Amino acid sequence: MAEVRRLSLESSSAWSESDLTLAQMRALAIIGLRQPLTVGALSSSMGMSLASGSALADRLVRAGFLKRRHDADDRRQVLLELEAEGVALLQRIEQRSRAKMRRALSAMEPHERDALATALGGFIRILRAGSGGSS
């Protein structure tokens, strides 16, 4: 598993071109999936304090990847959303990742692809059932 993580991190040239930390990339990905998102929800999702989450969001706003806006229903709530640059970065990373995955899958033997599909099916089934264990 460690080798898969290492290869995955090495392969994301779009991410490495951005000069963002892993925590910043993770924040962008979380916001991209769940936007708009409050700073509190982001902090909770990342397992960090509200102050740390706010500082992280501030850096991403200054870098042009995020924008803040007030919630129309509750002006006390500040919501985070991706700016166009944040959307574009996540799309580039996703496109490069998909292309690499397609190349890897096409290089596999048919029986290897079948075995991978079977194993991933089981893995997903277990995760959906909530019995993946905790660490």
Burial of 65 (0-12, 13-18, 19+ CB in 10 A): buried
Q: Within a domain: residue 124?
A: no
CB atoms within 10 A of CB 8: 11
Q: Within a domain: residue 30?
A: yes
Residue for token digits 């991403």?
60
The whole-chain average pLDDT of the chain stands at 87
CA distance 112 to 120: 12
Q: Within a domain: residue 62?
A: yes
pLDDT over 70 percentage in the chain: 84
Q: Within a domain: residue 32?
A: yes
* Residue 11 predicted with pLDDT over 60: no
User: pLDDT class for 135, splitting at 50, 70, 90?
Assistant: very low
Q: Within a domain: residue 127?
A: no
- Residue 28 belongs to domain with CATH number: 1.10.10.10
Q: Within a domain: residue 85?
A: yes
Q: What is the pLDDT of residues 63-73, one digit of tens each?
A: 999 999 988 88
- Contact partners, residue 70, CB within 8 Å, separation at least 6: 77, 78, 79
Q: Can you give the pLDDT at residue 14?
A: 54
Q: Within a domain: residue 120?
A: no
Residue range of the domain that includes 26: 2-108
Q: Within a domain: residue 114?
A: no
Q: Can you give the pLDDT at residue 29?
A: 94
CA distance 75 to 104: 48
User: In total, how many domains does the chain have?
Assistant: 1
